[in-house]
Chain A
Protein backbone atom coordinates (compact mmCIF):
# COMPACT_ATOMS: atom_id res chain seq x y z
CA UNK A 1 0.00 0.00 0.00
CA UNK A 2 2.77 2.40 -0.89
CA UNK A 3 1.90 6.05 -1.32
CA UNK A 4 2.83 5.86 -4.98
CA UNK A 5 0.01 3.35 -5.53
CA UNK A 6 -2.54 6.07 -4.94
CA UNK A 7 -3.08 7.80 -8.25
CA UNK A 8 -2.51 11.51 -8.67
CA UNK A 9 -6.19 11.82 -9.45
CA UNK A 10 -7.18 10.17 -6.17
CA UNK A 11 -4.79 12.41 -4.24
CA UNK A 12 -6.20 15.48 -5.98
CA UNK A 13 -9.72 14.28 -5.21
CA UNK A 14 -8.93 14.04 -1.51
CA UNK A 15 -7.31 17.48 -1.52
CA UNK A 16 -10.42 18.96 -3.14
CA UNK A 17 -12.67 17.16 -0.65
CA UNK A 18 -10.61 18.57 2.22
CA UNK A 19 -10.77 22.10 0.80
CA UNK A 20 -14.55 21.94 0.38
CA UNK A 21 -14.99 20.40 3.82
CA UNK A 22 -12.85 23.17 5.28
CA UNK A 23 -14.84 25.89 3.51
CA UNK A 24 -18.06 24.47 4.96
CA UNK A 25 -16.61 23.66 8.37
CA UNK A 26 -18.03 26.74 10.15
CA UNK A 27 -21.49 25.43 9.28
CA UNK A 28 -20.89 21.69 9.48
CA UNK A 29 -19.16 21.67 12.88
CA UNK A 30 -21.82 23.98 14.30
CA UNK A 31 -24.56 21.73 12.91
CA UNK A 32 -23.04 18.75 14.75
CA UNK A 33 -22.99 20.74 17.96
CA UNK A 34 -26.66 21.72 17.52
CA UNK A 35 -27.57 18.08 16.82
CA UNK A 36 -25.69 16.66 19.78
CA UNK A 37 -26.20 19.35 22.39
CA UNK A 38 -29.44 20.96 21.24
CA UNK A 39 -31.51 18.11 19.83
CA UNK A 40 -30.09 15.04 21.56
CA UNK A 41 -29.22 17.05 24.70
CA UNK A 42 -26.11 14.95 25.25
CA UNK A 43 -23.64 15.79 27.96
CA UNK A 44 -20.01 14.86 27.99
CA UNK A 45 -18.12 13.95 31.13
CA UNK A 46 -14.43 14.97 31.26
CA UNK A 47 -14.56 16.78 27.89
CA UNK A 48 -11.94 19.31 28.88
CA UNK A 49 -9.51 16.57 29.94
CA UNK A 50 -10.01 14.64 26.70
CA UNK A 51 -9.57 17.78 24.61
CA UNK A 52 -6.43 18.73 26.51
CA UNK A 53 -4.98 15.26 25.94
CA UNK A 54 -5.84 15.37 22.24
CA UNK A 55 -4.34 18.84 21.76
CA UNK A 56 -1.21 17.75 23.57
CA UNK A 57 -0.82 14.63 21.40
CA UNK A 58 -1.13 16.71 18.27
CA UNK A 59 1.32 19.36 19.37
CA UNK A 60 4.01 17.05 20.76
CA UNK A 61 4.61 15.11 17.54
CA UNK A 62 4.05 15.29 13.80
CA UNK A 63 3.81 11.51 13.58
CA UNK A 64 0.58 10.25 11.97
CA UNK A 65 -2.28 9.68 14.40
CA UNK A 66 -4.98 7.06 14.02
CA UNK A 67 -7.88 7.05 16.46
CA UNK A 68 -9.28 3.57 17.06
CA UNK A 69 -12.60 3.53 18.87
CA UNK A 70 -15.32 1.21 20.08
CA UNK A 71 -18.48 1.38 18.00
CA UNK A 72 -22.06 1.39 19.29
CA UNK A 73 -24.06 4.03 17.39
CA UNK A 74 -24.30 5.38 13.86
CA UNK A 75 -23.01 8.79 14.97
CA UNK A 76 -19.97 7.65 16.96
CA UNK A 77 -17.59 9.52 14.68
CA UNK A 78 -19.52 12.76 15.31
CA UNK A 79 -19.54 12.06 19.04
CA UNK A 80 -15.79 11.49 19.07
CA UNK A 81 -15.18 14.61 17.00
CA UNK A 82 -17.26 16.61 19.46
CA UNK A 83 -15.52 15.03 22.44
CA UNK A 84 -12.04 15.84 21.18
CA UNK A 85 -12.44 19.43 20.06
CA UNK A 86 -14.66 22.46 19.78
CA UNK A 87 -15.74 23.94 16.42
CA UNK A 88 -13.32 26.82 17.01
CA UNK A 89 -10.45 24.36 17.58
CA UNK A 90 -11.22 22.48 14.38
CA UNK A 91 -11.40 25.68 12.37
CA UNK A 92 -7.90 26.53 13.56
CA UNK A 93 -6.60 22.97 13.20
CA UNK A 94 -8.70 21.41 10.49
CA UNK A 95 -6.40 18.39 10.13
CA UNK A 96 -7.37 17.46 13.70
CA UNK A 97 -10.96 16.83 12.65
CA UNK A 98 -10.69 13.11 11.93
CA UNK A 99 -11.37 11.48 8.59
CA UNK A 100 -13.35 8.30 8.88
CA UNK A 101 -14.37 5.25 6.88
CA UNK A 102 -18.13 4.69 7.20
CA UNK A 103 -20.00 1.78 5.68
CA UNK A 104 -21.17 2.95 2.28
CA UNK A 105 -24.69 1.58 2.61
CA UNK A 106 -25.24 3.59 5.82
CA UNK A 107 -23.87 6.91 4.68
CA UNK A 108 -23.59 7.05 0.93
CA UNK A 109 -26.84 5.48 -0.23
CA UNK A 110 -28.60 8.74 -1.17
CA UNK A 111 -27.34 11.95 -2.75
CA UNK A 112 -27.87 13.94 0.45
CA UNK A 113 -26.06 11.37 2.59
CA UNK A 114 -23.23 11.20 0.06
CA UNK A 115 -22.89 14.99 0.23
CA UNK A 116 -22.86 14.92 4.03
CA UNK A 117 -20.29 12.13 4.08
CA UNK A 118 -18.14 14.19 1.71
CA UNK A 119 -18.35 17.32 3.83
CA UNK A 120 -17.67 15.42 7.05
CA UNK A 121 -14.37 14.01 5.78
CA UNK A 122 -15.56 10.49 5.04
CA UNK A 123 -14.08 7.92 2.68
CA UNK A 124 -16.92 5.38 2.46
CA UNK A 125 -16.11 1.69 2.23
CA UNK A 126 -18.24 -1.28 1.19
CA UNK A 127 -17.78 -3.69 4.10
CA UNK A 128 -17.20 -7.16 2.75
CA UNK A 129 -17.06 -5.69 -0.74
CA UNK A 130 -14.57 -6.50 -3.42
CA UNK A 131 -11.02 -6.61 -2.15
CA UNK A 132 -9.69 -4.12 -4.69
CA UNK A 133 -12.26 -1.52 -3.59
CA UNK A 134 -11.37 -2.01 0.06
CA UNK A 135 -7.66 -1.83 -0.75
CA UNK A 136 -8.27 1.46 -2.58
CA UNK A 137 -10.09 2.90 0.44
CA UNK A 138 -7.30 1.78 2.77
CA UNK A 139 -4.73 3.34 0.46
CA UNK A 140 -6.63 6.65 0.49
CA UNK A 141 -6.86 6.54 4.25
CA UNK A 142 -3.16 5.75 4.64
CA UNK A 143 -2.32 8.63 2.29
CA UNK A 144 -4.36 11.01 4.46
CA UNK A 145 -2.53 9.87 7.61
CA UNK A 146 0.83 10.33 5.94
CA UNK A 147 -0.27 13.81 4.89
CA UNK A 148 -0.77 14.88 8.49
CA UNK A 149 -4.52 14.32 8.70
CA UNK A 150 -5.95 12.49 11.69
CA UNK A 151 -7.91 9.31 10.94
CA UNK A 152 -10.65 7.58 12.89
CA UNK A 153 -11.48 3.93 12.43
CA UNK A 154 -13.59 1.37 14.25
CA UNK A 155 -11.43 -1.74 14.46
CA UNK A 156 -14.40 -4.02 15.05
CA UNK A 157 -15.48 -3.14 11.51
CA UNK A 158 -19.04 -2.31 12.58
CA UNK A 159 -21.25 -1.62 15.57
CA UNK A 160 -20.85 -4.25 18.25
CA UNK A 161 -23.94 -6.44 18.30
CA UNK A 162 -23.24 -7.53 21.86
CA UNK A 163 -22.80 -3.99 23.16
CA UNK A 164 -19.30 -4.90 24.26
CA UNK A 165 -15.97 -4.68 22.47
CA UNK A 166 -15.69 -7.85 20.43
CA UNK A 167 -12.02 -8.67 20.19
CA UNK A 168 -12.54 -11.55 17.78
CA UNK A 169 -14.13 -9.17 15.26
CA UNK A 170 -10.89 -7.23 14.76
CA UNK A 171 -10.82 -6.11 11.13
CA UNK A 172 -7.31 -6.71 9.88
CA UNK A 173 -7.48 -3.56 7.71
CA UNK A 174 -6.71 -1.43 10.74
CA UNK A 175 -3.55 -3.45 11.33
CA UNK A 176 -2.64 -3.06 7.70
CA UNK A 177 -2.93 0.73 7.94
CA UNK A 178 -0.87 0.92 11.14
CA UNK A 179 1.79 -1.33 9.65
CA UNK A 180 1.96 0.54 6.38
CA UNK A 181 2.05 4.09 7.73
CA UNK A 182 5.52 4.69 9.19
CA UNK A 183 5.57 5.86 12.84
CA UNK A 184 1.78 5.73 13.04
CA UNK A 185 0.52 6.39 16.56
CA UNK A 186 -2.69 4.73 17.70
CA UNK A 187 -5.00 6.61 20.04
CA UNK A 188 -7.48 4.15 21.53
CA UNK A 189 -10.74 5.85 22.38
CA UNK A 190 -13.52 4.35 24.46
CA UNK A 191 -16.78 6.32 24.41
CA UNK A 192 -20.09 5.28 25.87
CA UNK A 193 -23.26 6.81 27.20
CA UNK A 194 -24.44 5.78 30.65
CA UNK A 195 -27.72 4.60 29.13
CA UNK A 196 -26.13 2.87 26.16
CA UNK A 197 -27.09 -0.72 26.86
CA UNK A 198 -26.29 -2.18 23.46
CA UNK A 199 -25.78 -1.09 19.87
CA UNK A 200 -28.22 1.26 18.14
CA UNK A 201 -28.64 4.20 15.78
CA UNK A 202 -28.40 7.10 18.19
CA UNK A 203 -27.49 7.57 21.83
CA UNK A 204 -30.43 8.04 24.22
CA UNK A 205 -31.60 11.66 24.44
CA UNK A 206 -30.13 13.43 27.43
CA UNK A 207 -27.54 10.71 27.97
CA UNK A 208 -24.25 11.43 29.68
CA UNK A 209 -21.23 10.22 27.73
CA UNK A 210 -17.88 9.28 29.16
CA UNK A 211 -14.69 9.14 27.14
CA UNK A 212 -11.30 7.68 27.86
CA UNK A 213 -8.17 7.88 25.73
CA UNK A 214 -4.97 5.88 25.66
CA UNK A 215 -2.04 6.24 23.33
CA UNK A 216 -1.06 2.76 22.29
CA UNK A 217 1.89 1.32 20.43
CA UNK A 218 1.01 -2.03 18.89
CA UNK A 219 3.98 -4.30 18.36
CA UNK A 220 3.87 -6.34 15.20
CA UNK A 221 5.39 -9.77 15.32
CA UNK A 222 6.14 -11.44 12.05
CA UNK A 223 5.22 -9.85 8.78
CA UNK A 224 2.49 -9.60 6.19
CA UNK A 225 -1.05 -10.60 7.07
CA UNK A 226 -0.12 -12.15 10.37
CA UNK A 227 1.34 -8.87 11.58
CA UNK A 228 -1.74 -6.96 10.37
CA UNK A 229 -4.03 -9.32 12.23
CA UNK A 230 -1.91 -9.20 15.39
CA UNK A 231 -1.95 -5.42 15.43
CA UNK A 232 -5.72 -5.33 14.92
CA UNK A 233 -6.21 -7.81 17.77
CA UNK A 234 -3.91 -5.86 20.08
CA UNK A 235 -5.96 -2.73 19.44
CA UNK A 236 -9.33 -4.38 20.11
CA UNK A 237 -7.87 -6.04 23.21
CA UNK A 238 -6.73 -2.63 24.45
CA UNK A 239 -10.22 -1.25 23.83
CA UNK A 240 -11.71 -4.18 25.77
CA UNK A 241 -9.41 -3.34 28.69
CA UNK A 242 -10.56 0.28 28.57
CA UNK A 243 -14.14 -0.97 28.55
CA UNK A 244 -13.48 -3.01 31.71
CA UNK A 245 -12.10 0.11 33.39
CA UNK A 246 -15.11 2.11 32.16
CA UNK A 247 -17.53 -0.23 33.90
CA UNK A 248 -15.35 -0.56 36.98
CA UNK A 249 -15.21 3.23 37.40
CA UNK A 250 -18.82 3.86 36.45
CA UNK A 251 -20.13 1.03 38.58
CA UNK A 252 -23.64 -0.22 38.13
CA UNK A 253 -24.84 -2.97 35.88
CA UNK A 254 -23.34 -4.21 32.72
CA UNK A 255 -25.14 -3.89 29.42
CA UNK A 256 -27.72 -6.53 28.71
Chain B
Protein backbone atom coordinates (compact mmCIF):
# COMPACT_ATOMS: atom_id res chain seq x y z
CA UNK B 1 0.00 0.00 0.00
CA UNK B 2 1.42 3.36 -1.00
CA UNK B 3 2.00 6.25 1.39
CA UNK B 4 -0.72 8.27 -0.37
CA UNK B 5 -3.23 5.47 0.06
CA UNK B 6 -2.39 5.14 3.74
CA UNK B 7 -2.67 8.93 4.14
CA UNK B 8 -6.12 8.96 2.50
CA UNK B 9 -7.31 6.10 4.70
CA UNK B 10 -5.94 7.78 7.85
CA UNK B 11 -7.77 11.01 7.03
CA UNK B 12 -10.96 9.07 6.36
CA UNK B 13 -10.70 7.37 9.76
CA UNK B 14 -9.93 10.65 11.51
CA UNK B 15 -12.80 12.58 9.90
CA UNK B 16 -15.65 11.62 12.31
CA UNK B 17 -13.47 12.64 15.28
CA UNK B 18 -12.33 16.00 13.90
CA UNK B 19 -13.80 19.12 15.49
CA UNK B 20 -11.97 21.67 13.34
CA UNK B 21 -13.37 21.27 9.84
CA UNK B 22 -11.16 24.07 8.45
CA UNK B 23 -8.00 22.24 9.48
CA UNK B 24 -9.38 19.05 7.94
CA UNK B 25 -9.95 20.82 4.63
CA UNK B 26 -6.26 21.70 4.43
CA UNK B 27 -4.93 18.57 6.10
CA UNK B 28 -1.32 17.56 5.40
CA UNK B 29 1.25 15.22 6.92
CA UNK B 30 2.31 18.04 9.26
CA UNK B 31 -1.19 18.63 10.65
CA UNK B 32 -1.30 18.07 14.42
CA UNK B 33 -4.08 15.66 15.32
CA UNK B 34 -4.92 17.06 18.77
CA UNK B 35 -3.91 20.72 18.45
CA UNK B 36 -5.09 21.45 14.91
CA UNK B 37 -7.74 18.88 14.08
CA UNK B 38 -8.98 19.17 17.68
CA UNK B 39 -9.53 15.46 18.08
CA UNK B 40 -10.40 14.75 21.72
CA UNK B 41 -7.35 13.20 23.39
CA UNK B 42 -9.55 10.56 25.04
CA UNK B 43 -10.74 9.53 21.57
CA UNK B 44 -7.26 9.20 20.10
CA UNK B 45 -7.11 5.62 21.26
CA UNK B 46 -10.36 4.87 19.39
CA UNK B 47 -8.78 6.36 16.28
CA UNK B 48 -5.69 4.19 16.67
CA UNK B 49 -7.82 1.09 17.21
CA UNK B 50 -9.60 1.89 13.96
CA UNK B 51 -6.16 2.07 12.30
CA UNK B 52 -5.50 -1.44 13.67
CA UNK B 53 -8.74 -2.78 12.21
CA UNK B 54 -8.44 -1.00 8.87
CA UNK B 55 -4.84 -2.00 8.22
CA UNK B 56 -4.87 -5.32 10.11
CA UNK B 57 -1.93 -4.35 12.31
CA UNK B 58 -1.29 -4.22 16.05
CA UNK B 59 -0.10 -1.00 17.65
CA UNK B 60 1.50 -1.04 21.09
CA UNK B 61 0.66 1.51 23.80
CA UNK B 62 4.14 2.95 23.50
CA UNK B 63 3.74 3.47 19.75
CA UNK B 64 0.76 5.76 20.31
CA UNK B 65 3.02 8.14 22.22
CA UNK B 66 4.86 8.95 19.01
CA UNK B 67 1.71 9.90 17.11
CA UNK B 68 1.36 13.68 17.12
CA UNK B 69 0.67 14.48 13.46
CA UNK B 70 -1.13 12.81 10.59
CA UNK B 71 2.30 12.10 9.10
CA UNK B 72 3.38 10.33 12.30
CA UNK B 73 0.33 8.08 12.02
CA UNK B 74 1.08 7.31 8.37
CA UNK B 75 4.73 6.49 9.19
CA UNK B 76 3.71 4.27 12.08
CA UNK B 77 1.23 2.34 9.96
CA UNK B 78 3.73 2.03 7.14
CA UNK B 79 6.34 0.63 9.54
CA UNK B 80 3.83 -1.95 10.84
CA UNK B 81 2.86 -2.98 7.32
CA UNK B 82 6.53 -3.56 6.64
| Chain B residues numbered 31-82 whose CB sits less than 8 Å from any CB in chain A | 34, 40-42, 45-46, 48-49, 52, 58-62, 64-68
- Establish whether residues B66 and A176, one from each chain, have CB atoms under 8 Å apart when the complex forms: no
A78, B34: Cα distance in complex, Å: 31
Which single member of A128, A132, A171, A225 contacts B61 (CB below 8 Å)? Answer: A225
The 0/1 profile, CB within 8 Å of B marked 1, for residues 125-165 of chain A is: 00110111011000000000000000000000100000000
Q: How many residues of B contact A (CB 8 A)?
A: 19
**CB-nearest residue of chain A to B41:** A128
Query: Chain B residues with Cβ under 8 A from A130's Cβ?
Result: 68
- Establish whether residues B41 and A228, one from each chain, have CB atoms under 8 Å apart when the complex forms: no
Given A127-B41, A172-B42, A229-B49, the answer on whether A1 and B61 have CB atoms closer than 8 Å is: yes
Which single member of B40, B42, B61, B66 contacts A228 (CB below 8 Å)? Answer: B61
Chain A interface size band reads 20 to 34
Given A128-B34, A128-B41, A229-B49, the answer on whether A223 and B58 have CB atoms closer than 8 Å is: yes
- Establish whether residues A228 and B65, one from each chain, have CB atoms under 8 Å apart when the complex forms: no
- Establish whether residues B42 and A171, one from each chain, have CB atoms under 8 Å apart when the complex forms: yes
**Does A169 make an interface contact (CB < 8 A)?**
yes
A171, B42: Cα distance in complex, Å: 5
- Establish whether residues A229 and B65, one from each chain, have CB atoms under 8 Å apart when the complex forms: no
- Establish whether residues B68 and A225, one from each chain, have CB atoms under 8 Å apart when the complex forms: no
A196, B46: Cα distance in complex, Å: 31
A157, B60: Cα distance in complex, Å: 21
- Establish whether residues B42 and A224, one from each chain, have CB atoms under 8 Å apart when the complex forms: no
- Establish whether residues A225 and B59, one from each chain, have CB atoms under 8 Å apart when the complex forms: yes
- Establish whether residues B64 and A225, one from each chain, have CB atoms under 8 Å apart when the complex forms: yes
**CB-nearest residue of chain A to B61:** A176
Given A128-B41, A170-B42, A171-B42, the answer on whether A224 and B68 have CB atoms closer than 8 Å is: no
Query: Chain A residues with Cβ under 8 A from B62's Cβ?
Result: 1, 135
Q: A224-B61, A229-B49 given. 16 additional CB < 8 A pairs?
A: A1-B62, A128-B41, A131-B65, A131-B67, A132-B66, A135-B62, A135-B65, A172-B42, A224-B58, A225-B52, A225-B59, A225-B60, A226-B49, A226-B52, A228-B45, A228-B61
| 5 pairs, CB–CB < 8 Å, chain A vs chain B | A134-B65, A157-B42, A224-B59, A225-B59, A225-B64
Closest 4 CB pairs of A and B: A128-B41, A131-B65, A172-B45, A135-B65
